[in-house]
Amino acid sequence: MILNALDPVTAEAAVEQAAQALRAGALVGLPTETVYGLAADANNPHAVAQIFQAKGRPADHPLIVHVAQASDVAHFARDVPAFAQALMRAFWPGPLTLILPRRAQVGAVAAGGQASIGLRCPAHPVAQALLKRAQALGVLGVAAPSANRFGRVSPTTAQHVASEFPQGDGDALLILDGGACQVGIESTIVDCSRGVPVLLRPGGVSRAALLAVLSDFGQALVTPEQALQLSQQTTPKASGTLTAHYAPQAKVRLMSLTQMQTELAQREGQGNPTAHLALYVREPVPFQAKAPLQVLTMPDQAAAAAQALFADLRQMDGPSIREIWVQTPPASPEWEGVSDRLRRAAA
């Protein structure tokens, strides 16, 4: 069931119904500025277990817990370093997740049993309204991974969520419609649990923006490999960091325009049809195919490409498409998040 949470006439009632559902231990489709999440009371082990079951997600692969404001972090985390607090002040509410040492007996199921927990304060007004109303009902945070089957393309509209959980699941799932997500790819994840900031996943907050804050603390943004050398502590598992992830049903390949042109020519020369092929490109492909060929244009600005990425992958992933060839994004910092998602989709 999709409830309109944008219309002023229906928004308050929709948020109230969703908050009551969370308190009762049910799942809710939650809009955020990054992607839509599948939300449950983070302190209700049975409710959180339903997320893993609905997604087909391994129980040891942790979820991100969403809170209404930075002060709520104290309920879930301990020993929060000063640089992590500075990142919260700079980027919350917003598309940044911090991995922090978890308080004992709190959020264990959502954390996949780890001693750390991922926390984020989303900026979407509907997410904020729901988190604050749920908090008033005793729900102090919601675990909310992307609202899709495990490993598949993340949803950026309420309709995407409904399509992920059809029939009985879809009828039962309450989904708040907050419009299309503005960022479009998942949050940046920084591990702050080992004394140094470690970039685990690029996203809506850029590397340069993070470094501008961290420099005040004499901190660099290190890789998981560098952190292991410094602390000898294993990198905690984090949401959306598996090698293969964000994948449509069709096989995704990252290619240059020259590679596309060469392979298209080879296929047609060998009599292989291109009707089951989709191209996702920023520039025109210098090749005229004899058979029908689905071509979709990727925005040429990184932020717009991120916003459109998952919706475009879903659009191309039709029943007749077997392969999606994607023009490799530019190797520049602003494209880091898009490049990360495409590499995992193609893995």
Report pLDDT for 232: 59
- Model confidence pLDDT, tens digit, residues 181-238: 999 999 999 999 988 999 999 999 999 999 999 999 888 888 777 777 766 566 777 7
Report pLDDT for 87: 97
Q: How confident is the model at residue 169 (pLDDT cuts 50, 70, 90)?
A: very low
Q: CA dihedral in degrees (12, 15, 21, 24; nearest 10)? A: -80
**Crossing angle of helices 207-214 and 82-91, rounded to 10°:** 130
At 202, list the tokens.
């690029």
Q: Which neighbouring-strand residues pair with 40? A: 143
- Model confidence pLDDT, tens digit, residues 43-63: 999 999 999 999 998 888 899
Domains and CATH numbers, the chain: 2-231 (3.90.870.10), 251-346 (3.40.50)
In a 10 Å sphere around its CB, with 0-12 CB exposed, 13-18 middle and 19+ buried, how is residue 200 labelled? buried
- Model confidence pLDDT, tens digit, residues 238-285: 776 666 677 899 999 999 999 998 888 888 777 766 778 999 999 987
Report pLDDT for 60: 86
Q: Which neighbouring-strand residues pair with 102? A: 77
Percent of the chain clearing pLDDT 70 (strictly above): 93
Average pLDDT over residues 67-80: 96
Q: Secondary structure of the chain: what % helix, strand, coil (to 5)?
A: 35, 20, 45
Report pLDDT for 316: 94
Closest listed residue to residue 35, CA positions, set 146, 162, 160: 146
> For residues 147 and 36, is the Cβ–Cβ distance under 8 A?
yes
Report pLDDT for 231: 67
Report pLDDT for 273: 66
Closest listed residue to residue 40, CA positions, set 151, 134, 128, 148: 134
